Amino acid sequence: MKFIVVTGGVLSGLGKGIVTSSLGKLLKARGYNVTPIKFDGYLNVDAGTMNPLRHGEVFVLDDGTECDMDLGNYERFLDVTMNYYNNPTGGKIFNLVLKKERRGEYLGVDVQFIPHVTGEIKEWVRKVGKESNADIVIIEVGGTIGDIENSYFVEAMRQLKLEEGENNVLFIHVTLVPILKVVGEQKTKPTQASVRELLHMGVQPDFVVCRIEEPLKDGPRRKIALYCNVKESNVISDHDCKTIYEVPFVLDEENFSEKVLNELQLPVREKHMEDWSKLVDNIKNPEKEVTIAITGKYTALADSYVSIKEALIHSGAHLKAKANIKWIETTDIENGKASIADVLKDVDGIIVPGGFGSRGTEGKIKCIQYARENNIPYLGLCFGFQMAVIEFARNVCGLEGAHSTEIEPNTKYPVIDIIPEQKEIDEKGGTMRLGAYPAILKEGSIVASLYGKTEVSERHRHRYEVNPDYIEILEKHGLVFSGRSPDGKLMEFLEIPDHKFFVGTQAHPEFKSRLDSPAPLFYGFLKACLK
Ligand code: GLN
């Protein structure tokens, strides 16, 4: 088993996760079994309690782990399924160490960063590799070199190399090479400074990957090699391109994956990227374009809905279409700042995504009503599914004031209510209905035809459900619950048959969408928008 450690320098948000995913993809395309691990230095046990506005989307794994959106990129690029152990955080590691200390497992010694914390980290990483039968474990260290938060993790990786030996552990440092516009010069000083910082920690990078707007020139490349003590051929240009899915090709313009395998003393096998290349081509050269409205509270930051954006790109790649997103701030609709007809007049489809709390909900409900009444394709995801039920109850079934008890605890018609098991819970972290749950789809329904089967599994993250007391009246008026939990109690999918496309799900199918296999509901939705 070999290990690749990816660190980042200069500043955050460089796209280190995309470099890690892309390298993983390239190695996988050469027939290696690659397991990614992302280390996050924060002391939260998981990302579930973080604000998506500040931190980006909370991604959910099959096993219910709430994590950083980088894990989503690994799954999307590598077409693998991650779990709790692929995302060690400061919180998880310290939790482990403190629990051991209380159990007396370190009896007689003082518990220290070295060897105890670093020891746990090394064991964690090796175990994940072993259990997934990895040829190569690729470990991304979150944050920027120089942060206190990830320093003990980098130290653990330094020790890992000492123990595993040369050619078994490889360090890749991703940095920024800014271009000074006035002189047009590619500046290497930030890279030099950040590699020096890494050297202070006892880590010599084997590769420096340079994020840069245009291809890296020979002069700066030589300079980086000299100052950073890296072979010139191991300074890799990671210049801007049109889509993140193209990054593997950008990196391999300089035979990155081949060089990495050489350094690891692994045979360079033939690379198979033909299908991927076709899909990237479709993303870059779409034949059609549509406008999709997405409503939501976090519209200020597109990062909070990364998986939805990616799911649209995946489906678009297969349909040779580009979905332009129009973000809708629904509070503007509520307070009369914008008229719904104006806001939605030029859109081809509407998505109401997941959400929590009351802000903007009346505006979302209005958007759904508009979609339903004007035969505009609609896709409701989790909260958007619940809001569709509320809209239908109010405006079709005549249950005036129907609501979710999350927003209106005293509503006369609680069509969405808390799951009984959730009523007893006071802790907030990791206590929702989380992770993959199976659903049985109705034969002949729209959703069954999109999935091409009647037993599906999608990921969840919610506390509230359709209230069973209202199913009968909703269905009597034409709403079809086309997917339910295996025991029949929980409503998982809904649809309106005589509509261009009106589908909702209590799950988050966007989390399982991948470029090679787009989420069926997104595919169906986009196809309807294109008509
Ligand atoms: N707030 C809703 C619930 O908890 C929906 C959550 C979501 O959209 N992820 O059920």
* Residue 383 CB less than 6 A away from ligand 1: yes
Query: Within 10 A of 394 (CB to CB), how many other CB atoms are there?
Result: 18
Which ranges in 264-357 belong to alpha helices (H)? 274-284, 306-319, 330-334, 340-344
Query: Within 10 A of 429 (CB to CB), how many other CB atoms are there?
Result: 12
Q: Whose CA is nearest to atom 1 of ligand 1?
A: 356
Question: What integer pLDDT is reported at residue 395 of this predicted model?
Answer: 97
Question: What integer pLDDT is reported at residue 299 of this predicted model?
Answer: 58
Q: Which atom of ligand 1 is nearest to the CA of 381?
A: 8
CB 295 within 8 A of CB 360: yes
Active-site residues, by number, are 382, 508, 510
Question: What integer pLDDT is reported at residue 33 of this predicted model?
Answer: 96
Question: What integer pLDDT is reported at residue 109 of this predicted model?
Answer: 87
Q: Percent helix, strand, coil in the chain (nearest 5)?
A: 40, 20, 35
The CATH label, of 3.40.50.720, 3.40.640.10, 3.40.50.880, 3.10.620.30, for the domain at 286-530 is 3.40.50.880
Q: How far is the CA of 382 from the centre of ligand 1 (A)?
A: 6
Question: What integer pLDDT is reported at residue 283 of this predicted model?
Answer: 97
Q: How far is the CA of 47 from the centre of ligand 1 (A)?
A: 16
Question: What integer pLDDT is reported at residue 330 of this predicted model?
Answer: 87
Ligand 1 pocket mutation, candidates 386, 416, 419, criterion most atoms within 8 A of CB:
386
Q: How far is the CA of 400 from the centre of ligand 1 (A)?
A: 22
| 155 token code pair | 């130290």
Partners of 290 in beta bridges: 323
| pLDDT tens figures, 361-409 | 999 999 999 999 999 999 999 999 999 999 999 999 999 999 999 999 9
Question: What integer pLDDT is reported at residue 68 of this predicted model?
Answer: 85
Residue keyed to tokens 């700042």? 337
The angle formed by the CA atoms of residues 147, 151 and 154, to the nearest 5 degrees, is 125
Query: Do the two domains 2-11+14-277 and 286-530 of this chain adopt the same fold?
Result: yes
* Residue 359 CB less than 6 A away from ligand 1: no
Weakly modelled stretches of the chain, pLDDT under 70 = 49, 52-54, 297-302, 420-430
Ligand 1 pocket mutation, candidates 307, 358, 382, 465, criterion most atoms within 8 A of CB:
382
Question: What integer pLDDT is reported at residue 432 of this predicted model?
Answer: 82
Q: Whose CA is nearest to atom 6 of ligand 1?
A: 462
Q: How far is the CA of 383 from the centre of ligand 1 (A)?
A: 5
* Residue 464 CB less than 6 A away from ligand 1: yes
Question: What integer pLDDT is reported at residue 429 of this predicted model?
Answer: 57
Question: What integer pLDDT is reported at residue 83 of this predicted model?
Answer: 93
Statement: 2-11+14-277 belongs to CATH 3.90.10.10:
no
Distant-in-sequence, close-in-space partners of 406: CB < 8 Å, separation ≥ 6: 356, 357, 358, 416, 418, 463, 464
* Residue 171 CB less than 6 A away from ligand 1: no
Ordered by start, the domain boundaries in the chain are: 2-11+14-277, 286-530
| pLDDT tens figures, 332-371 | 888 888 889 898 989 999 999 998 888 889 999 999 999 9
Ligand 1 pocket mutation, candidates 356, 403, 408, criterion most atoms within 8 A of CB:
356
pTM: 0.92
Q: How far is the CA of 462 from the centre of ligand 1 (A)?
A: 4
